[in-house]
Amino acid sequence: MGNLEGKIAVVTGGNSGIGYASAKKFKEQGANVIITGRSEEKVNTAANELGVQGVVADVKDLNALDSLVAQVKDNHGAVDILFVNAGIFAPAPVGQITEEMFDNQMGINFKGAVFTVEKFLPIIKDGGAIINLSSVNAYTGMPNTAIYAASKAAMNSYTRTAATELAPRKIRINSVNPGPVYTPIFGKTGMPEEQLNVFAEAMQNRIPLKRFGQPEDIANLVNFLASDEASFITGAEYNIDGGINVNPLLAG
């Protein structure tokens, strides 16, 4: 029997990367899992592979969130675990940030995350768990990530305040801050493959453990925070980054 036996878990952006790995882990631990995503094809493919329910929903669209919550409520009644994972990464240097870039990243990474929580709160059980996917970029000052980093810093600040306000319902809410992880998010940046490879090699050399994380590494932490084993943890942030945030100047 897994540590999430009988729990109802929702994973936004669950059709790839960290969301996919976390949905898989949740299911292995006995949860009944619902994944969401913007692409009907990708959501359906992932749901079939995982053997879970898939629902198409764009977290930037509040009407879509309303529809998602209504569907989950109709099918399951209530939710024990909400993993707010959907997000995008669109690098741009300061001085070349457009309003569209700002609105898109903030709209998905922060506004979408906040309203995912807001819309689901009425059907999250007292004693439930919310996990927000953030990033060590909230603190690193990494070039070309100003808006992405700001969206994640906002997420972490929101999480701390929400933890205080949700405590009377015994709902725990925590943030997970991954470092560099092998996921499809980098392939969606528009950077040429050669440039991505150079970036990845340079980044890996700066990680004390000398490797990128795998989605499964993050999924293991997310699963722990979702479980009763983490029943005394709320308002916390967990860096899972191979040590890059404690020693950002370390080079190969």
**149 pLDDT more than 70:** yes
Confidence of residue 252 (pLDDT cuts 50, 70, 90): very low
Using a cut of 0.95, tell me whether the model's pTM lies above it. no
The model's pLDDT over 91-125, given as tens digits with 9 standing for 90+, comes to 999 999 999 999 999 999 999 999 999 999 999 99
Domain total of the chain? 1
3 state DSSP class of 180:
coil
Residue among 128, 127, 148 nearest 136 (CA)? 148
H or E segment at 33? strand 32-37
Options 20, 148, 158, 238, the catalytic residue: 148
pLDDT for the residue 240: 95
Q: How far apart are CA 26 and CA 82, in angstroms?
A: 11
Q: How far apart are CA 221 and CA 180, in angstroms?
A: 15
Report the 10 Å Cβ neighbour count for 251. Answer: 7
Q: Which 8-state DSSP code applies to residue 15?
A: T
Residue 176 falls inside a structural domain: yes
pLDDT for the residue 192: 62
**184 pLDDT more than 80:** no
Confidence of residue 208 (pLDDT cuts 50, 70, 90): confident
Residue 252 falls inside a structural domain: no
Residue 36 falls inside a structural domain: yes
- Give me the helix-helix angle, 17-28 and 215-226, nearest 10°: 50
Confidence of residue 246 (pLDDT cuts 50, 70, 90): confident
Question: Which residue is associated with the tokens 């629902």?
Answer: 55
Q: Determine the average pLDDT of the residues in 209-216.
A: 89
The model's pLDDT over 57-78, given as tens digits with 9 standing for 90+, comes to 999 999 999 999 999 999 999 9
pLDDT for the residue 251: 41
Residue 23 falls inside a structural domain: yes
Under 8 Å between Cβ of 17 and 25: no
pLDDT for the residue 212: 85
Under 8 Å between Cβ of 60 and 111: yes
Residue 141 falls inside a structural domain: yes
| CATH number of the domain where residue 199 is located | 3.40.50.720
Q: Determine the average pLDDT of the residues in 200-220.
A: 84
Residue 246 falls inside a structural domain: no
Residue 251 falls inside a structural domain: no
pLDDT for the residue 210: 82
What does the chain come to in residues?
252
Residue 70 falls inside a structural domain: yes
Q: HEC profile for 86-149? A: CCCCCCECCCCCCHHHHHHHHHHHHHHHHHHHHHHHHHEEEEEEEEEECCCHHHHCCCCEHHHH
H or E segment at 66? helix 62-76
Q: Which 8-state DSSP code applies to residue 52?
A: S
**C-alpha distance across the termini of the chain, in Å:** 43
Q: Which range marks the domain in which residue 144 is found?
A: 8-240
Q: Tokens standing for 8?
A: 């109802």
Confidence of residue 200 (pLDDT cuts 50, 70, 90): low
Q: Is 238 among the catalytic positions?
A: no
